[in-house]
Amino acid sequence: MNWEIVIGLETHAQLKTQSKIFSGASTAFGAAPNVQACAVDLALPGVLPVLNKAAVECAIRFGLSVGANVAPRSVFARKNYFYPDLPKGYQISQFELPVVIGGQLAIQVGQGDKSYEKIVHLTRAHLEEDAGKSLHEDFHGKSGIDLNRAGTPLLEIVTEPDMCSSAEAVAYAKALHALVQWIGICDGNMQEGSFRCDANVSVRRPGGLLGTRREIKNLNSFRFMQQAIDYEVKWQIETLEDGGRIEQATVLFDPDTGETRAMR
């Protein structure tokens, strides 16, 4: 019995601005922990976030490069949740009115005779701030929190569920990675987390309704993306063929075992 694979990608591209999205604090990578988080990044009482024009210009340049609609007016919203690396209790993001709506990217999949072109449709791209970072090493069983990254501008680029294989997902991610660097909005450094992808994966019977998706978080290498999707697809098909059900979940890929497993 055959299955169809359905994949949609969400990519966080860190924008190449000097300062943060709502404050004047530096975005330079590699500083000592917590020296680049100012009162606005921490949302101390009485602070006023002021939008960084350069971040909006990056988003507009991206929208134009993919033939999207650039919203003349877009709106920020608070996404409320508490997490150790988000002690202020909310992330400023865009929800109802994102800056970039629609658009598409042409990708080349595979090499030689079997290669083909495909169009991947974009749903939206919105501006948001990054959170801080939890550090689990060097703390003797405790975790450290570095808030330097808090408030760093991100463009989250969301695709329609248009991709049908790990090869297509990787081809899209590589094309997007090249594009954001070429138009000068992101340095593309995946080791430093400047370009990271979440892969939403489901399987279904050919032509049937969309299956339940599981979302593989924070893939920061193309090789891991391919391995993670291949493992996830195999796991979902085996689960369904054994009579099980797929529950919607967020999963992490473990490069050491080559497996994905539920996060929360």
Nearer to ligand ADP, 200 or 226 (CB): 200
Residue 57 contacts by C-beta under 8 Å, 6 or more apart in sequence?
none
Nearer to ligand ADP, 20 or 214 (CB): 214
3-state SS, residue 243: coil
Query: Do residues 51 and 88 lie in contact, with contact meaning Cβ atoms separated by under 8 Å?
Result: no
**161 binding ligand ADP? (CB under 6 A):** yes
Q: Annotate each residue in 47-86 with x if it binds Mg ion (CB under 5 A) or - if it does not, as one string.
A: ----------------------------------------
Closest alpha carbon to 120 in 184, 56, 179, 57: 179
**Pairing between strand 100-101 and 133-135?**
unpaired
**91 binding ligand ADP? (CB under 6 A):** no
Binding window for ligand ADP (CB under 6 A); candidates: 20-28, 51-59, 198-206, 254-262: 198-206
Residues 5-24 that bind Mg ion (CB under 5 A): 10
**200 binding ligand ADP? (CB under 6 A):** yes
H helix intervals, 164-257: 166-182, 222-241
Q: What are the CA-CA distances from residue 145 to residues 34, 95, 133, 252, 258 (Å)?
A: 8, 27, 6, 21, 28
Nearer to ligand ADP, 102 or 161 (CB): 161
Nearer to ligand ADP, 147 or 179 (CB): 179
Q: Which amino acid belongs to residue 198?
A: D
**166 binding ligand ADP? (CB under 6 A):** no
Binding site for Mg ion (CB under 5 A): 10
Binding site for ligand ADP (CB under 6 A): 6-10, 158-161, 200-202, 210-211, 213, 215
